[in-house]
Chains A and B, each alone.
Chain A
Amino acid sequence: MTNESVAKAPKSTAPSAPGEALQARETRLFSLDGKPVAFTSGQTILEAATAAGRYIPHLCAHPDFPPHSSCKLCVVKANGRYLSACSTRAREGLEVESNTPELNGRRRTLLQMIFVEGNHYCPGCEKSGFCDLQALAYQLEMQNPHFSHFWPDRTVDASHPDVFIDFNRCIFCELCVRASRDVDGKHIFALTGRGIKKHLCINSRTGKLGDTDFSAADRAANICPVGAILKKHVGFSTPIGKRTYDATPISVVSLASLEASK
């Protein structure tokens, strides 16, 4: 982790040092793919780029939560160093590369590894058309999985009456962990295990979601970027053509949704 890291900051946009409020009023710039981007003090590269309408691919980053920096899709080259854009503060004069063949190639490889590590069958998945992972694969022109599939033996937890978890599709972004802990105050999810044995676990006596006080209204039930945590009985209720990413790429949807949330 670098000294620019804000991974442990409770909210990355908060001023972190005396005098920064004054500096924030001044227009400061860094360069993203050769074009200037304005930022305010405390903003990460990802936040500043997004605010300026410039898309940097990402999966685990979410504007409502502190940076997680685990998916590594937002890695950019800043002054020649590879850094996570979600957890690196913007600095005056920083020269950032993002949309380059080299970086997009590395992102494609990361996506391919995510796809083969789990069991992601888009043709039979009800998240298809709404899925950030699938949308990023299209955005970054991933044509095939490249690597051998792991075919992990994972289960489905359908013990809850309103929500089910398909562990086959979990990408370990911890958005549900963060949402349940920081917003819902329930601490229902955690990642456990190490390396290839890492997996999402449920905080209940039986390890089943049905034995928790989880609710379909919880933030954690509505934040999964892939098809791992889904509301029951919704299924394929949206026609092809009307799903989030059917006609609009994630690069546009991502920026538009942030704008709408302001």
Chain B
Amino acid sequence: MSFALETASHPENLKRIAIDPVSRVEGHGKVTILLDDNNHVHQVRLHIVEFRGFERFIQGRPYWEVPVVVQRLCGICPVSHHLAGSKALDWVVGAPQISPTAEKMRRLMHFGQVLQSHAVHFFHLASPDLLFGFDAEVGKRNILNVAAEYPDIARQGVLLRKYGQEVIRLTAGKKVHGISSVPGGIHKSLNKEEIAFLKQDIGQMIDWSVGAVELCKRLYYSNLPLYENFARCESNLLSLVRPDGALELYDGLLRARDSKRKIIFDKVDNRDYHKVITEEVKSWSYMKFPHITALGREIGWYKVGPLARVQNCDFIDTPLAEEMRQQFMDTAKPVNHATLAYHWARMIEVVHCAEKIRDMLDDPDLQGNDLLRQGKRASEGIGIIEAPRGTLFHHYHVGDDDLVTMCNLIVSTTSNNQPMNEAIRSVAREYLDGERVTEGLLNHIEVAIRAYDPCLSCATHALGQMPLQVELVNTDGTVIDTRTRGADFI
């Protein structure tokens, strides 16, 4: 099966443009565009060219290594992998119900994670496009110029991220790649000094995150046709929700809606994910293409992440975030499928995380000593969590000798694979078709990718500093035009 613009019928007669690598994303992605002599677009693909192989090389390792090892998939949201792996292995050690202290420590860690990751995503990686324009001079489209032109916004972004990192440091042991979550619970709790430290700035964080939502909303309404239609991609939605329908980031039940907001499935237990989701492999990408089994691969693909979550849930259980969700839902008719609306939804989640952190810091369980649980040993575990960029699945089999025998991961980016491909095809149709290709036009493609994901490979590479070279190659292989730009931000 092939989607429109996924596979050209005669690629051998077409010019090929490669955006390689895609910049201001983490990891290594590539976009290829095939054009005919009149620059009409025939094929657009987002390739994930980085092979990670974690599913294979975690096999044969002791299961208690998993939460620490698999988080090395990513430097932006390692906590999500750390916790999804731990949740899966809670089942293996017979403790799917961990202690209140352990669960609250993990939740707090995760709120810190989502907050810091969303801050990086919006302020550091996406805001230059939104504030200066997609085709602004390339040398100005970076966070340093945001700091020069909008110093308050840049400062708030940096400090919001820093606060999230501090939450992670105190709950996980260090800011990146902590080790505190273990199968069956957690190995530390917080002391009074640590809680007092986090309480100092949480009020400011809530204020700034509310300001970020207002900024997103203002940008959205300032150019409604652009924001509503750019890279628009209608699809189903998937996320965890709490049993009562509330937004849930750490542990919930699977729910999917179609593009008109009708429920496809609801309250699916995590352990039954393979009954509702199927993964497809394609020859031109290392990423898999998952879809909702009941709908089939042609129409069963779905979005995950903030845009899916805030529209999939029935409500958010913190007042400010819920008020902002309701304002956001005014744009949903009945579902907002605008790619750039991801950022607005993302900042609503930042408000939610900040409110949750504030509320949790008063909970005495965070200072408890009941850290670990253990029960009847099992051979299989499944952990699903809402990572910053969407639903993340971890699935393991463990042998009697305690070594992992099978690992299946569906990372958020994998779920968003088809929507991202559709989004960039929409951009190619709208902005590139028949036009002379410029760097600014190609950046439109990258803007669409960045709205979903600054983290293409769930990899550990450094942010930015990715030079971009675009070559226009004629049908006989002659390079007819080359554009190069230097290192982008950070």
Contact = CB atoms under 8 A, between A and B. Distances in A.
Nearest to A124: B69
Interface string A155-180: 11011000010000000000000000
Main secondary structure, interface of B, reads: loop
A237 B182 contact: yes
Interface in B203-242: none
A238 interface: yes
Contacts, number: 54
Interface in B46-78: 60-62, 64-65, 67-69, 72
B403 interface: yes
Contact of A240 (B69, B72, B173, B182): B173
Main secondary structure, interface of A, reads: loop
Nearest to A240: B173
B119 to A, nearest CB: 24
B187 interface: yes
Contacts of A235: 62, 64-65, 182-183
A239 B188 contact: yes
Given A164-B402, A237-B187, A123 B61 contact: no
B274 interface: no
Interface residues of B, number: 22
Contacts of B280: none
A234 B174 CA distance: 20
B368 interface: no
B267 to A, nearest CB: 33
Contacts of B180: 236, 239-240
Interface in B161-189: 173-174, 177-180, 182-183, 187-188
| Size band of the interface chain A makes with B | 10 to 19
B401 interface: yes
A236 B64 contact: yes
Given A158-B402, A238-B187, A124 B68 contact: yes
B179 A240 contact: yes
Nearest to B183: A235
A126 interface: yes
B174 A240 contact: yes
Interface of B: 60-62, 64-65, 67-69, 72, 173-174, 177-180, 182-183, 187-188, 401-403
19 contacts: A124-B68, A155-B60, A156-B60, A158-B62, A158-B401, A164-B62, A232-B62, A233-B64, A234-B64, A235-B182, A235-B183, A236-B67, A236-B68, A236-B179, A236-B180, A236-B182, A237-B182, A239-B188, A240-B180
